Homo-oligomer: A and B are copies of this chain.
Amino acid sequence: MDKIVRINMAELTSSVEPVPAEWVGLGGRALTSTIVAKEVPPTCHALGLSNKLVFAPGLLSGTSAANSGRLSAGAKSPLTGGIKECNAGGTAAKMFAKLGIKALIIEWIPREDKWYSVHVTKDAITIAEESELIGKGNYCLINSVQARYGKPVGVMSVGPVGEMKMLSANISVADPESRVRSLGRGGLGAVMGSKKIKYISIDDSGTPPVMPKDAVKFKGAARIFAKTLLDHPVSGQGLPTYGTNVLVNILNEAGGLPTRNFTSGQFAGHDKISGETMHATIVARGGTPTHGCHAGCQIQCSQVYNDKNGQYVTSGFEYETIWGLGANCCIDDLDDIAEADHIMDDLGCDSIETAVMFGVAMEAGVLPFGDSKEMLRLLRDEIGKGTPLGRVLGGGAAQLGRIYGVTRVPVVKNQGIPAYDPRSVKGIGVTYAMGTMGADHTSGYAIATNILNVGGHVDPLSKVGQVELARNLQIATAAIDSTGMCLFIAFPALDIPECLISLIDMINARFGINLTGDDVTALGKSVLKIEHQFNLDAGLSKEHDRLPEFFSKELLPPHNAIWDFTPAELDAFWNF
């Protein structure tokens, strides 16, 4: 029997509720956003007693469906001031689903200035004071927690950055190898820190597998679905081979790789940090070029990156991180970037926000462009230790810009713009401007159609068709984010009809219902509208659905592209 679990951090108690009828058909982002919109006052302080932190597995989490292991977290974001959902892989989503926990809602803040842990099993929720692990990084923490229980429990935790409530703080999630995945963007780690929870551990021992209502139909659909993932060139070949970092050379070629804090679209050192170089390096050092962030992943875009001595450095080493510390900071040393990635995972700080911040910090003169050693020192000794400079750097790009009076600050709704220049890839620019989450490439990945020719082709340098593209992708993404599916299923879903059909078949077989494609679209629209209304009620008016001024004042080489959408053109996004 599915249930809602609430944890009251003021009383240090938990309670279990049946799932309200209107939440039964929701999961993942649809559920976190619905709960946040219903229960969190939009104008509250995001780190105060009125905010709530909600975890929810997706509709298909816990089943045998390929790539269904994403966990959603939602809250009011202390970074954007609006609603926030992030999702990540790891082992927790499946455990939540097996425990029948459709949502875990964390409310209030402790009366005393103490830290706590939360342990979840099929029989009990245990809230315990925590002191031993306070100040510890995520790698140490995950291993320590699993040692405490003598088994690989699911772990969601905050590192030092989340403890210190910096706005770049992630919530980290243990992956199957007890390494670190990230519920990144928007500072939800600061919300968890404000609730004074160092970690939540989950033990699904004694629970049966999640059984679809119609197991036969489910199995058939799951097989078709998995095959489409393998058949599509992006999810079946590009991502498994090179990881997301396949994009460095592609975006550089397209003139859309933001370089030197968004002053050029091409980076001279692109070859040194490309997916091709990374793949060769991983293979040469005995690393793992293909790796999944959760059990059941068919795409395996993750990897294990080792150092020159063959020792583990990082995994889940993404294009956006490599772009951000690489091209955007003019650093072409992949080993230094990998080390930075490790430190950020360990500290629990968002690698995109932090990379965009470093670009602005270099422009401000805090450190020189290209100085990777100083970047590593700042991460370790300043952000990690919470010095005043560390707190400045740990608050993200917008904050750094305000503190140093910088005008070229690539953010929307206070959140750093990732990895794709909106002037030369205009579809993603519309997603950045209009997304309910602030600048977030995953909320409507127009790169697919602008650059990768997935789902057709829309000219990246032209405005024509971009608003419609971004709208359709954001609607589809909001639905996908509700299933527990990895967003990368969108590649086959855009090109291979059987992919979406089998996905819907799986949902129907899982719950014994009869959704259509229109229902899924309606769900996506509904989620976006709920989120948009929350943002409006929080004070994020249409003037916040805009890119920063400099994008419409400064031409971007090599195409000398400019951001030229009118407010009315952008606002048409919401015509649905």
A positions within 8 Å CB-CB of B: 41-45, 47-50, 78, 164-167, 190, 193-194, 387-389, 391-392, 395, 399, 402-405, 407, 409, 536-541, 543-544, 546, 548-550, 553
Contacts and interface: CB of A to CB of B under 8 A. Distances in A.
A45 B554 CA distance: 14
Contacts of A391: 392, 403-404
B405 A48 contact: no
Given A388-B388, A543-B42, A543-B43, A405 B194 contact: yes
A350 to B, nearest CB: 16
A219 to B, nearest CB: 48
A68 B540 CA distance: 40
Contacts of A193: 405
30 contacts: A43-B543, A43-B549, A44-B549, A45-B407, A45-B550, A47-B405, A47-B407, A48-B407, A49-B407, A50-B549, A78-B402, A165-B404, A165-B405, A166-B405, A190-B405, A193-B405, A194-B405, A194-B407, A387-B388, A389-B389, A391-B392, A391-B403, A392-B392, A392-B403, A395-B402, A395-B403, A399-B399, A536-B541, A539-B541, A539-B544
A164 B541 CA distance: 30
Contact of A43 (B45, B537, B539, B546): B546
A112 to B, nearest CB: 16
A392 B549 CA distance: 25
Given A166-B405, A391-B404, A399-B402, 9 more contacts: A45-B409, A48-B407, A50-B549, A164-B405, A167-B402, A193-B405, A399-B399, A399-B403, A539-B543
Contact of A549 (B48, B387, B549): B48
A506 B151 CA distance: 86
Contacts of A544: 539
Nearest to A193: B405
Contacts of A536: 541
Nearest to A546: B43
Nearest to A404: B391
A277 B387 CA distance: 40
Given A43-B546, A541-B541, A553 B399 contact: no
Given A395-B403, A399-B403, A405-B190, A548 B45 contact: yes
Nearest to A50: B549
Nearest to A393: B388
- Nearest first, the 8 A-B pairs at minimum CB distance are A165-B405, A539-B543, A388-B389, A541-B541, A48-B407, A45-B407, A388-B388, A391-B403
A549 B45 contact: yes
Q: Which of the listed residues A44, A50, A405, A409 has the most CB atoms from chain B within 10 Å of its own CB? A: A405
A9 to B, nearest CB: 14
